[in-house]
Amino acid sequence: MKLAEAIKQQRFKSEEEKSIVNILYTAYWINDIHNKILEPYGISVQQFNILRILRGRHPSAATVNLLKERMLDKNSGVSRLVEKLRRKGLLIREPNEIDRRQVDIMITEKGLEMLTELDEKMNDLIDLPKCFTREELNQLNNMLDKLREQRPLYPVPAK
């Protein structure tokens, strides 16, 4: 569906404005699909992101700061998300043996099993860009990277 039809707005101030609205609309559209896949598992997109980061580090541990650094959503309350996942038995938190101020966070077997099951269901989401050619995907990725490389108008919060 074309953007103008989807949001019932035919005119934009400029192509630049339309492109920003289109990117935001598409991001929310993808996020909605992501949420629908995760809903039966009782986890959010941010919690899923934490579990994927931990799986990538498994069997090594991660710290809250490492998770914050790698999160897609930089505004996530990582400590709160970690606690929710701990209560579900999907990860564990243990004091760091070397630095007692740090907490080691590791995915559990239950968390790994959930991700394995979700991998299959996430294929539908991952397949969305298959409507593009390899060249178009490369162009899209390059354009999005280029957009983020621009100097922001407003200060971006520190990571």
| Angstrom distance (rounded) from CA 96 to CA 103 | 5
pLDDT of 3: 85
pTM comes to: 0.84
DSSP assignment of the chain equals: --HHHHHT----S-HHHHHHHHHHHHHHHHHHHHHHHHGGGT--HHHHHHHHHHHHHTTS-B-HHHHHHH-SSTT--HHHHHHHHHHTTSEEEEE-SS-TTSEEEEE-HHHHHHHHHHHHHHHHHHTGGGGS-HHHHHHHHHHHHHHHTSPPSSPPPP-
Q: Which domains does the chain have, with CATH numbers?
A: 15-118 (1.10.10.10)
The answer to whether residues 102 and 78 touch, using CB atoms and an 8 Å cutoff, is no
The answer to whether residues 112 and 58 touch, using CB atoms and an 8 Å cutoff, is yes
CA nearest to 136, candidates 120, 42, 128: 128
Question: What is the chain's pLDDT, residue by residue, as a tens digit (159 residues)?
Answer: 788 788 888 889 999 999 999 999 999 999 999 999 999 999 999 999 999 999 999 999 999 999 999 998 877 799 999 999 999 999 999 998 888 888 999 999 999 999 999 998 898 899 999 999 999 999 999 999 999 888 776 666 665
